[in-house]
Amino acid sequence: LGAGVSVEAGAVIDENAVIGDSTHIGPNAHIGRHVMIGAHCVISGNVTIVCTEMGDHCLVHPGACIGQDGFGFAFDGKKVVKVPQVGHVEIGENVEVGANCTIDRGALGATRIGSHTKIDNLVQIGHNAQIGDMCQIVAQCAIAGSSSVGHGVIIGGQSGIAGHLNVADGVMVAARSGVTKNVNTPKEVVGGFPAMPIKKWRKQQALLSRMLSESKTGKKE
């Protein structure tokens, strides 16, 4: 434990963990073996962190779980068997992780969260996902395993990104969108399900509304 570390009641810090100077560990938190947490971090109550390296000045809100196994299973012809998850999580500096978020460890390598990224409550980030710097991920989003999100990406609430996809730098994803293919154009704004350029999606919604109205009235508007 570094200088000025505070540990509240009920917290457990396992062997060989390293906690940086002036970091606060909240009540009933669990810091696993070999975890590294930087200086001036706040780990709130009931947080679990395992298999993780975290930079300085990070804030983890209550109930978040970081470094647990990702969803890795295979059917062997008779039953579903677990594929061992042996990677870890790397979190940069000045990252905020919302309440009850889950960030899975890598299956083999690392799940990475870039510096200055802000993650809202109830966000799921799958194993081996790569999140760039200065991203904003709003509540109830899910990013599937092995997807790569560039720097400065903003993802609206309740949106999902399918696995093994790439999202370019500066992309904005409208709330409740489903990204099912690569978004390769930097700073593009997409929306809808499946996600598409926002202007195209708005035109589709307007056309659908008009068609439904005409079907009810029998008249063209």
Buried b or exposed e, range 89-113, using 16+ CB within 10 angstroms: bbbbbbbbbbbbbbbbbbbeebbbb
Q: Write down the residue that tokens 């700073």 correspond to.
A: 187
Catalytic residues: 127
Separation of alpha carbons 203 and 209, rounded Å: 10
Contact 191, 208 (CB under 8 A): no
Separation of alpha carbons 145 and 135, rounded Å: 17
183 dihedral zone (left: phi>0; alpha: psi -120 to 50; beta): beta
Separation of alpha carbons 102 and 115, rounded Å: 18
The pair of structure tokens assigned to 17 is: 């963990």
First to last CA, the chain: 70
Q: Write down the residue that tokens 């400065």 correspond to.
A: 152
